[in-house]
Every structure is written in structure tokens, then in C-alpha cells.
Amino acid sequence: MRDYAVNTNDFSFWYGSFQALNGLTLNIPAGKITALIGPSGCGKSTFLKCLNRINERAGQVSHNGSMQVFGHDIYHPSVALPELRKQVGMVFQKPNPLPLSIFENVVFGVKTHMKKVTTAELNAMVESALTRVGLWEDLKDRLSKSALTLSLEKQQRLCIARLLPLKPKLLLLDEPCSALDPAGIEAIEGLIRDLKKDYSIIIVTHSMAQAKRVSDDTIFMYMGELVEVGTTKQVFESPKEPRTAAYIEGRFG
């Protein structure tokens, strides 16, 4: 049987009385990079934030239908939110390291979630996470420097690194390159492709070129609805839905 990172069945979501997602049924394979595209306001970020339930911080929200992450119903009453949020890590548009040292950024989640962890364990976690995102050699001698002194690209790498000690399985990247220059974009895209070896990844992007460069599969949403899903090659080269074709050709959005 094929492994899925996400399965949703007729999933809808409301902020108060405003319906932001409308009856989404889709399956996102594990071990792949899936791009989520669609015009501004179509619900891309909302969908990501339903996957780790951080939407619930927005106040009065509700949902209908089911959403599973690696086969587990994440809206079941028995679900512990801290556990879910460890498993499903998220990176945002604007790099948002904490105003702390590089070291403390990487171990912040672990210190919050785990009671007993030794200094040696923390050191090992920092080396491993920074190595994984390609920052260790560069930063190992200045781990006590503020994370805010790093370039935006390195801040974004650090924001990915700080998820890793929590051993996530699914990484949600919400327009992770939109604050970066072309060299930074290329570097982060390289990192994303490399992370696919170990993680399932969903990336929201407004860049059609980026979706084509990094993703295996693509989901096109429009006004809270799922319009089309397929391999990235199929969606971009022979879209089935006229709205998908119009969007990827730049006729709207």
C-alpha cells in the first residue's frame, strides 16, 4: 500500500462564519515534495495551518470532515497538540528566528518539550541539525552570536534546523523563499530537495518556476476549493482543468 503523509476527506474549515476551505478530499504521498499553488486568499496557508492545528490560535474556528497525518486522525479528541506540532514542523515566509543565540534557537523546541536533556545531548542536537541544513561549518565557532545577525537565507536555514531536533515527519514550508534574493532562493531550494530524503514536504509558493523546479506533485486551489492535483509535470504540461491552465499561464492571480 502506498504511504501517505496526508489524507483529507471532505475537509472544510471556517474562521468564525467565514468558510476558508470547502470540502477538500486529497491524498499527499509521503517522502515527496508537494507544491500547493493558487491565487492569494485561496486558502493555502489555512490548509497548512490545519495540518498542525495552529489555526486554532486564531480564535473561533471550526472544521468538518476528516484530516489524517500519517494515518492518524489529527482532530481526534485524544490528540495532544504539542505532539502533533513536533511531528508537523512549519516554516514561514519571513524567517522568524527567536532573538536568542544561534545555539538557543536550535534547542528551543527541545527545551520546551523535553524535561531532562543533558548539555552533551543539546550540543549533539545542534551539531546534527546545523549540519543537516548546511550551516555547521560556517557557524560552529559563533553559536553564541545572535541569530538575528545572520543573512536572511541563513536565518531561514536556521528556522528549518530548529524543527529537526523534534524529529518531525512532515515539513510545511509557507512561501519559504519569498524574502530571499536569487542566490538565497537557489540555496534554499537545494536544501529542500535534499531534505526530501528524510521528510515529507509541502511547499506553498507563488512562483510557478519554483513549483516546477522543486516539487514532485502539485495541488492547485481556488477560493477554498481543490481544483486539480497531479504530478507537477502533468499539472504544468497538460492541466485537466481550464482554471489551472489559466492560473499557470498567468492569466489571473
Ligand X SMILES: Nc1ncnc2c1ncn2[C@@H]1O[C@H](COP(=O)(O)OP(=O)(O)OP(=O)(O)O)[C@@H](O)[C@H]1O
Q: Please give the Cα distance from 208 to 143 (Å, whole number).
A: 36
Question: Whose Cβ is closer to ligand X: residue 49's or residue 154's?
Answer: 49
- Distance, C-alpha 97 to centroid of its chain: 16
- Partner from Mg ion, ligand X, none binding residue 40, C-beta < 5-8 Å depending on class: ligand X
Instruction: Give least dist CB 227 to ligand X, A.
Output: 13
Closest CA to 105 of 151, 141, 156: 156
Asked if 14 interacts with ligand X (CB under 6 A), we say no
- Sole window of 44-52, 130-138, 223-231, 235-243 interacting with Mg ion (rule: CB under 5 A): 44-52
- Partner from Mg ion, ligand X, none binding residue 17, C-beta < 5-8 Å depending on class: none
Contact indicator for 191, 133 with CB cutoff of 8 Å: yes
Residues in the chain, overall count: 253
Size of the site for Mg ion (CB under 5 A): 1
Asked if 45 interacts with Mg ion (CB under 5 A), we say yes
Instruction: Give least dist CB 43 to Mg ion, A.
Output: 8
Give ∠ CA 243-49-45 in degrees, rounded to 5: 35
Question: Whose Cβ is closer to ligand X: residue 45's or residue 155's?
Answer: 45
Long-range contacts of 131-139 (CB under 8 A, 24+ apart): 132/161, 132/164, 132/195, 133/157, 133/158, 133/160, 133/161, 133/164, 133/191, 134/187, 134/191, 135/161, 139/102
Question: Whose Cβ is closer to ligand X: residue 44's or residue 162's?
Answer: 44
Instruction: Give least dist CB 61 to ligand X, A.
Output: 8
Instruction: Give least dist CB 177 to ligand X, A.
Output: 14
Footprint of ligand X on residues 20-59 (CB under 6 A)?
20, 38, 40-46, 58
Question: Whose Cβ is closer to ligand X: residue 18's or residue 252's?
Answer: 18
- Partner from Mg ion, ligand X, none binding residue 200, C-beta < 5-8 Å depending on class: none
Instruction: Give least dist CB 196 to ligand X, A.
Output: 23
DSSP state for residue 235 in the 8-state scheme: H
Instruction: Give least dist CB 51 to ligand X, A.
Output: 12
Closest CA to 145 of 156, 155, 133, 134: 155
For the chain, report the end-to-end CA distance as a whole number of angstroms. Answer: 37
- Partner from ligand X, Mg ion, none binding residue 43, C-beta < 5-8 Å depending on class: ligand X
Asked if 94 interacts with ligand X (CB under 6 A), we say no
**3-state SS assignment for residue 68:** strand
Closest CA to 201 of 84, 77, 28, 56: 28
Instruction: Give least dist CB 247 to ligand X, A.
Output: 12
Q: Please give the Cα distance from 34 to 195 (Å, whole number).
A: 13
**Which residues would be at the binding site for ligand X (CB under 6 A)?**
15, 18, 20, 38, 40-46, 58
Note the residues at the interface with Mg ion (CB under 5 A): 45
